[in-house]
Amino acid sequence: MASSVDTYIESHQDRFLEELKSFLAIPSVSTLPQHKPDIERASAFVAERLRAAGIENVERIPTDGHPLVYGEWMKAPGKPTVLCYGHYDVQPPDPLEEWVSPPFEPLIRNGNIYARGAADDKGQMYIHVKAAETLLAAQGRLPVNVKFLIEGEEEVGGKAVDRYVAEHPTKLQSDVALVSDTEMFAPGLPTLCVGLRGLVYTEVVATGAAQDLHSGIFGGAAPNPLLGLARILSQLISPDYRIQVPGFYDDVEAPSPEEKASWARLPFDENEFLREKVGSTALVGEEGFAVLERLWVRPTLEVHGIVGGFMGEGAKTVIPAKASAKVSMRLVPRQDPQEILAAFQKEVKRLTPRGLRVEVKTLSTAEPVLMSPSHPSIQAAARALSDTFRQPTVYVRGGGSIPIVARIQESLGIPVALMGFGLPDDRLHSPNEKFHLPNFFAGIRAVTRFWENLAEGR
């Protein structure tokens, strides 16, 4: 027998989708200044949809960066309060030429919606909005109190929301936070993420000569910042993928034997992962660790881009005066981003070749996160997922970083239920990002169940 919730979701399916399309059509790329007006539009859209759903006291909160959107429904006295977090900003869409359909013209193909931000995180955060609308429309009330806090800077470090949570613990006081910005381990497999890697993201800037030089006239005597960066980078991590920053591994906490054993039972095939998800000639990384361990509980160092010199077509014989590399490290529980950053800066300085000056700029940091699967709120989320997807929920970690999760834990002292509805092939941050539409609708159902479970203390 279909509940009133199921009936409401089914009969408003088309409108929910049209709304999601409108949301995804806004190119709210937070890292690019030219998209500032789109950021405004996206935040206005979120505020307007919250109001339309019946959420009260909705406000757009100006910040030094992009606006926050807040709203609440507090009419369930004596019941728990859930803080729903999401972000309306997206990654840049480049390389544009690799998209089958344009990144900001959402298109449905084979049950998926394709657009930048479809899964990360517009589609997933919109689940929370539609869950609230559904319960308020179908039942006239929510089973719990709900607060929404939606930010527009997640992809650029989330400074504004971080400060806001730190400075407004009373306003945001809740019993559990709900974040849908992770993925299911496999299609149809309900998944709760109980740990996340942290992040230190830097820009390493190397300066040599006072101006760009001709490599014919000066080559052999002038320092080359690109070569210097290459030398530094290749010494920061060994060929067998051990990070060479002194003390880097000192605080790394290994997962329990039980947790490791549960991962071994997950439907995961390393060869299939290589073939289907990565597509390189081989997987790489630390010897002695399974791939899932490398992705979830081992720290890493990556280079994301190197800027400087001639980057056009053809040949230019320049020795650039300056070059910089975007370098990040993923951190695992018990590693402290500030300590790692300091050790990294010291090591980069030590490795700086003669003739160059090198500066390390910090673009963002995030604490690693670890939650207890036995916490009652996490159990309520697990049951909601199991009931919706009709399979036992699995507990995994995530390799990515959601800095707000650590902030919520620290400033509000509450657990965070990471109920993710993305799929492993959603291509976050890559061309042809998508979101699986059945998960959008199942997600709405699961969130309503989560709230009901919390209200009923089960």
Residues 78-97 that bind its own copies (CB under 8 A): 91-92, 94-95
Q: Which of 313, 374, 390, 457 binds its own copies (CB under 8 A)?
A: 313
Here the tokens at position 348 are 């980069």
Nearer Cβ to its own copies, position 71 or 225?
225
Here the tokens at position 340 are 């790692």
Nearer Cβ to its own copies, position 137 or 252?
252
Sequence letter at residue 209 = A
Q: Which of 318, 346, 379, 383 binds its own copies (CB under 8 A)?
A: 318
Nearer Cβ to its own copies, position 328 or 453?
328
Q: Which of 50, 118, 125, 428 binds its own copies (CB under 8 A)?
A: 428
Q: Are 183 and 119 spatial neighbours (Cβ–Cβ below 8 Å)?
A: yes
Nearer Cβ to its own copies, position 201 or 441?
201
Residue 404 C-beta-side C-alpha neighbours within 13 Å: 28
Nearer Cβ to its own copies, position 89 or 452?
89
Q: Which of 96, 284, 350, 392 binds its own copies (CB under 8 A)?
A: 284
Here the tokens at position 104 are 């900001």
- Smallest distance, its own copies to C-beta of residue 241, A: 8
Q: Does 231 bind its own copies (CB under 8 A)?
A: yes
- Smallest distance, its own copies to C-beta of residue 449, A: 27
Backbone angle region of 410, left / alpha / beta, with phi > 0 → left and psi within -120 to 50 → alpha? alpha
Nearer Cβ to its own copies, position 353 or 376?
353
- Smallest distance, its own copies to C-beta of residue 339, A: 20
Q: Which of 61, 252, 303, 370 binds its own copies (CB under 8 A)?
A: 303
**Residue 80: which residues within 8 A CB-CB, separation 6 or more?**
144, 145, 174, 175, 176, 377, 454, 455
Please tell me whether residue 197 adopts helix, strand or coil conformation.
coil
Give the containing element (helix H, strand E) for 294: helix 291-296
Stretch that binds its own copies, among 39-47, 71-79, 356-364, 383-391 (CB under 8 A): 356-364
Report the site for its own copies in 20-39 (rule: CB under 8 A): 31-33
Q: Beta-strand (E) ranges in 79-228?
A: 81-87, 107-109, 112-114, 145-151, 176-179, 191-196, 198-207, 213-214
| 28-45 burial code (b ≥16 CB/10 A, e <16) | bbbeeeebeebbbbbbeb
Here the tokens at position 153 are 């800077």
Residue 407 C-beta-side C-alpha neighbours within 13 Å: 24
Report the site for its own copies in 379-408 (rule: CB under 8 A): 398-401
Nearer Cβ to its own copies, position 78 or 305?
305
**Residue 177: which residues within 8 A CB-CB, separation 6 or more?**
82, 83, 84, 85, 405, 408, 412, 414, 415, 416, 417
Q: Does 368 bind its own copies (CB under 8 A)?
A: no
Q: Which of 65, 308, 337, 403 binds its own copies (CB under 8 A)?
A: 308
Q: Does 300 bind its own copies (CB under 8 A)?
A: yes
Terminal-residue alpha carbon distance, the chain: 22
Nearer Cβ to its own copies, position 129 or 295?
295
Q: Which of 77, 140, 239, 457 binds its own copies (CB under 8 A)?
A: 239
Task: Tell me the per-residue interface mask from 149 to 188 with its own copies, x by CB under 8 A, - otherwise.
Answer: ------xxx-------------------------------
Q: Does 214 bind its own copies (CB under 8 A)?
A: yes
Stretch that binds its own copies, among 143-151, 325-333, 388-396, 441-449 (CB under 8 A): 325-333
